[in-house]
Amino acid sequence: MNTPIEPLQQIVERDQVWPRMAAKYGVDNPIPPWKSSLDGLCDALDAAACGADVPTFKERRDEEDALASTLYAGLPYPENQLMALAHSLLVRGVITESELSQRLAEVRARLQA
């Protein structure tokens, strides 16, 4: 579980954490705009009853705690929570690295348009 995953490592290396981005763009809100979506995703995963290897609430939180204190310790909260969730879903095969990379590229293209 503590093995780095390339697309996630690239995100960490870019160091685009909310405090820096908010300061760069003059945003005063200390909470990232995507935090409510992350919370909603976690709630949906907690209630999921699909065939995929979706972690239970306890598994997700345990994995989040372990990853946030090791592999993603250099990131602030909630970035470390987001990265830990993505890491867990990748390790469990809920999403593949290529799917994640494709979705990240789509989001980046929309943001830069």
| Per-residue confidence (pLDDT) for residue 49, from 0 to 100 | 65
What φ, ψ does residue 8 adopt, rounded to 5°?
-75, -35
Residue 51's pLDDT is 63
CA 112 to each of CA 16, 31, 42, 102, 103: distance values in angstroms, whole numbers, following the listed order: 15, 22, 27, 15, 14
Please list the ranges in the chain whose pLDDT falls under 70.
49-52
pLDDT reported for residue 8:
93
- pLDDT, one tens digit per residue, over 82-102 is 999 999 999 999 899 999 999
Which pair of structure tokens corresponds to residue 2? 């503590």
Specify the pTM: 0.87
For residue 38, CA distances in Å to 3, 104, 112 come to: 23, 15, 22
